[in-house]
Amino acid sequence: MSLQTFVMLQKVIAFAAIALLAAAAYCDIKTFRIPNALVGTMAALGIVRLILLHDPLAAVYAIGFAILIFLVGLVLFARKIVGGGDVKLLAAAILLIRYRDLYEFFVLMSVAGVLLSIAILIHNHRPLVSEPRLPVPKTRLPVPYGAAIATAGIVTLLLQPLLYRYVVPFAPTFLW
């Protein structure tokens, strides 16, 4: 496989993953559900991307970390702290992101989650639109955290070296 074909396949996978992440965020915000088909497709794209890299160490790190996060997420889901769709989406997103970028991904996810939670608190206190809202339990306010995971995934993918010059076209050339 030529370098040009390899780069094109990586770009196609990244842009398809961005579209799937956006769809997952939309579904989570609208229905508090993330379809398994979206998550499965994202995980498959992540596996294909790892295979194309021909880097066994990167694949071991990515798959190992995805499994670790999935297992921790299962414990949190069993205690009703997080949603099952969020756990699956997070594991699939980790397969798509380079293991070197996981720290930035988690920082972005945390910031997006805080901003999303603040927005939901404001919306719950004073609705911005006058459409019927989903019933809110009195003990906890539901947060579609899949939107925060998707936002962090999209930004992280766009800032990876392969796609960075498409995000910031006027950046100094020494950055890439």
DSSP single-letter state for residue 104:
H
> Averaged over 64-77, what is the pLDDT?
96
Which is more confident, 169 or 102?
102
- Please report how many Cα atoms fall inside a 13 Å half-sphere around the Cα of residue 60, on the Cβ side: 3
As to burial, measured by CB atoms within 10 angstroms (0-12 exposed, 13-18 middle, 19+ buried), residue 16 is middle
Compute CA 75 distance to the chain's CA centroid, rounded to the nearest angstrom. 20
- Please report how many Cα atoms fall inside a 13 Å half-sphere around the Cα of residue 3, on the Cβ side: 1
Is it the case that residue 141 has pLDDT exceeding 60?
yes
Model confidence at 64, in pLDDT bands (50, 70, 90)? Answer: very high
Q: What are the two backbone dihedrals, phi and then psi, of residue 138, each rounded to the nearest 5 degrees? A: -75, -20
